[in-house]
Amino acid sequence: MVDQRAVLPPRLAASWQRSRQYGVSPETVRPAFSGTVDHDSLFFECGQEVLSGLHSTLANEPVSLMLTDSAGLVLSRLCKDTTIIRSLDRVHLAPGFSYAERDAGTNGLGLALADRAPSLVSAEEHYCTGLWGYTCAAAPVLEPGTNRLLGSVNLTTWSKSSKELLLALAQAAAGNTAALMLARSHGHLAPPGPRGEVFHVYADRLPAVAANLSAAWTDALAEARAAMEHGRVVCVTGEPGSGKAALASTARRSVRPRERILNARPPAPQDAASWLALWTPEVGKADTCVIVSGADALPAYAAEELAGLLAAARGAFVITAEDHAGVPDALRALIDTVVDVPALRYRPDDVLPLAGHFARESRGRPVTFTPAASRALTAYPWPGNVRQLRQVVREAVSRADVVDIRHLPPEVFTSPGRRLTRMEAVERDEIVRCLTKPGTTAAQAASMLGMSRATVYRKIAQYGIKVPRR
């Protein structure tokens, strides 16, 4: 087969190169098959609704509309044209099959997921000749508020058909899916994720407290420090907000105390080029270490360019990611040691020391937590990890020098679960507000709220409210 990389646009050429490295056949499509497809998520519900509406307007067109998950697994396919359906079945572009780059080579949906950007792949731009008869337009769907990659919307038609509007339709469907998810979640979203900030990590970010936490934390810290002492490239993994960058910087400071540390957080996909241009000139400078945060959220082409720069600065960078397996291959090849940071719910002994540190950091002086407030903070499972704890503590100490349960937000007294409607959240907050008043019983709270005592008890169970005794 003729090497077309010289005439392909850069993103497609890079995708072809990855396809070859994955060992994808250039002649035959052999996507992996999974017997399980998740139809229960909010993403699938909203995406299927949007595609069904679009499908009704394209009923007479030979276009197949598909929804995939973030790994490229086809979740659904809508099409009434029997000819294109039979043709797609022959190349396994059907529910249950994975069309990620590593399975099917360069294709529209695989490229959209790899680069987290809208993609159009037509005819001979596909890596595999078996796909040359198609044009595929796809757009990623990002979770509102967090920019986490959820999957993609893919439109496939014959390569000889008009393709001018195909990509626009895919982008509109992806945007409508995200908007519908926002509406269905009643606006209860996680805080927006970082958009490519680059900043110094100072030595006092987490002072002595970082080296004197629980065994789970200190063991991970010691593992990272030992690897860095031997010049190994470390990847720190863990849930969002668990303290990956803090552990990386603390370990690095203990090895090279005078070193300047930069933390580069992942950009929005469309900002990747300017993000790289902003800070990569610092790579390789004397006494400089870079923490590449959220590497598993980087577009594939940006990861490949970055890997080339970092390879020459071996040992002078650290990578963080939610999942090591999600780091793009080019960067993952540089990693020698993986260190996992346990989530805060597995480190309850760390909650109060960290809370005390965040309180002093916010108020500029020590702050006291009452026994009841301490029990509430320790008992809560902290789904948002250390980042959530920091926010809760800063809000509480802005109201008092002695933090009691009445100064803590209602979320600390409720079990994490389904998203609440706005009315449910208001009701829960009022119940917690009454119950956290000094000396208030459930019966007194019921009187304040104008409810029966039985109703209050039922609501307490419904919302999983647990207010510790003083």
Residue 136 has pLDDT above 50, yes or no: yes
Confidence of residue 320 (pLDDT cuts 50, 70, 90): very high
Task: Determine the average pLDDT of the residues in 81-98.
Answer: 93
The two structure tokens encoding residue 175: 């945007």
The pairing of beta strand 234-237 with beta strand 317-321: parallel
* Arch. (CATH architecture) of 345-404: Orthogonal Bundle (1.10)
Task: Determine the average pLDDT of the residues in 198-227.
Answer: 77
pLDDT in tens, 24-51: 999 988 888 876 777 888 999 999 999 9
Residue 468 has pLDDT above 50, yes or no: yes
Q: Are 279 and 198 in contact (CB under 8 A)?
A: yes
Question: Other CB atoms closer than 10 Å to residue 227's CB: what's the count?
Answer: 21
Residue 281 has pLDDT above 90, yes or no: no
Residue 11 has pLDDT above 90, yes or no: yes
CATH superfamily of 198-342: P-loop containing nucleotide triphosphate hydrolases (3.40.50.300)
First to last CA, the chain: 75
What is the pLDDT at residue 200? 61
Question: Other CB atoms closer than 10 Å to residue 333's CB: what's the count?
Answer: 12
Using CA atoms, how far apart are residues 122 and 162, in angstroms rounded to an integer?
A: 11
Task: Determine the average pLDDT of the residues in 52-66.
Answer: 89
Residue 78 has pLDDT above 90, yes or no: yes
Where do the CATH 1.10.10.60 domains begin and end in the chain? 409-470
pLDDT in tens, 351-408: 999 999 899 888 888 889 999 999 999 989 898 999 999 999 998 998 888 999 889 8
Residue 204 has pLDDT above 80, yes or no: no
Confidence of residue 344 (pLDDT cuts 50, 70, 90): very high
Residue 318 has pLDDT above 70, yes or no: yes
Please name the fold of domain 10-184: Beta-Lactamase (3.30.450)
pLDDT in tens, 103-117: 999 999 999 999 999
Where do the CATH 3.40.50.300 domains begin and end in the chain? 198-342
What is the pLDDT at residue 470? 57
Where do the CATH 1.10.8.60 domains begin and end in the chain? 345-404
Q: What is the pTM of this model?
A: 0.70
Residue 436 has pLDDT above 50, yes or no: yes
pLDDT in tens, 286-301: 888 999 999 999 999 8
pLDDT in tens, 230-261: 999 999 999 999 999 999 999 998 899 888 88
Question: How wide is the angle at C-alpha 42 spanned by C-alphas 36 and 44, nearest 5°?
Answer: 50
Handedness of CA 191, 194, 197, 203 (dihedral sign): positive
Residue 424 has pLDDT above 80, yes or no: no
Task: Determine the average pLDDT of the residues in 58-80.
Answer: 92
Q: What is the CA radius of gyration of the chain?
A: 26
Please name the fold of domain 409-470: Arc Repressor Mutant, subunit A (1.10.10)
Task: Determine the average pLDDT of the residues in 5-28.
Answer: 88
Where do the CATH 3.30.450.40 domains begin and end in the chain? 10-184
Using CA atoms, how far apart are residues 140 and 153, in angstroms rounded to an integer?
A: 6
Confidence of residue 410 (pLDDT cuts 50, 70, 90): confident
Using CA atoms, how far apart are residues 12 and 119, in angstroms rounded to an integer?
A: 9
What is the pLDDT at residue 1? 45
